[in-house]
Structure 1
């Protein structure tokens, strides 16, 4: 008879307690994904530049209509609190001081991928779909394209469109604001 190995999964609440008690430090490059504490990849210069470019671009395009939250937690469910590269959120007067944003607060989550494309596609994007994030993008800096995921369901996003240089895109929440892929990629 073989014994099955069981994993101990942590809730977001337990994860926060680990931070409060010093088991995890505020600056640790980790996130909670499906109950597991996962180390995040180091941030290279192309990745960092991509995040900064999107931060500026979204601010220029949407101004006070949104709150742009770069590399901050979003509590997507009881066992997951990822830190997407960019979260485009509904504005709130308290800037989410009382609690991290949840799926209802999110217009768009963006992952900028240089070395993490497989992980983003196989783990992060399915997680966002399961938790009903309306729209998610992967900005693939190596292939110079943007993957746009829409129509979330428990089995994943039902729509995937790929955009390349010379094309433009509109967020579902802001269909009258066009963003070119060239603006996104720089």
Structure 2
């Protein structure tokens, strides 16, 4: 007798969109497509939401017309992933991506705000973002009260990794003229 093992059914973005249009998922359910798998997203707590509002306010002021600020909205990465990062800075687009989701080439910076999701954000999300050449990925680490910065994607990882505290400032790779005070987002 031949042993048979269950196989995962991976969903691509087209099928994911058809399921959404068909109303398969309850509207209040928070999910994202990561490497073909449909994953439930963690609930957003007060601290997480407050940090997201803070980051949004700081970056909206800093970037002006130099980038599009995107909050918890899909970014299409290949055919099998459509994560909804907490925050994204995108290349300017006249219609603000109203006719398509932004892709990796449109993305300047992705930020995840992490407490209960820290391990997932450091491992699976980091690999996903690096493998799609997202130039800069930040984790606002609410557990250790620091900013983890990942730059120079190569082969599914980032070559440059640093940890910043409230005493530090950082310039973005894509917009080096902008200085962000880490204290302003932690």
Per the normalisation by structure 1, the TM-score is: 0.96
Asked if 2 retains the 8 angstrom alpha-carbon contact of 1:145 and 1:163, the reply is yes
3-state DSSP of counterpart to 2:140: strand
Residues of 2 paired with 1:76 and 1:27: CA distance? 24
Secondary structure of 2:177 counterpart: strand
Whole-Å separation in 1 of the counterparts to 2:27 and 2:126: 25
2:22 alignment partner in structure 1: 21
CA contact (8 A) 1:65 1:91 kept: yes
1:3 — aligned with what? 4
Contact 1:131 1:154 in 2 (8 A): no
Q: Could you tell me whether the CA contact under 8 Å between 1:30 and 1:39 is conserved in 2?
A: yes
Partner of 1:80: 81
2:72 aligned residue: 71
Q: Would you say 1:40 and 2:41 are equivalent positions?
A: yes
Gapped regions of structure 1 (runs ≥ 5): none
RMSD over aligned Cα atoms: 1.0
Contact 1:46 1:114 in 2 (8 A): no
State whether residues 128 and 156 of structure 2, in contact with CA within 8 Å, keep that contact through their aligned partners in structure 1. Answer: no
Correspondence for 2:136: 135
**What pairs up with 1:67-146 in 2 under 5 angstroms?**
67-146=68-147
Q: TM-score normalized by structure 2?
A: 0.96
Post-superposition CA distance 1:136-181 (Å, at most 9, x none): 0000122111111111122311111111110111100111211111
What stretches of structure 2 of length at least 5 have no aligned partner?
A: none
Deviations 1:32-64 (A, max 9, x none): 000000000000000001111000000111111
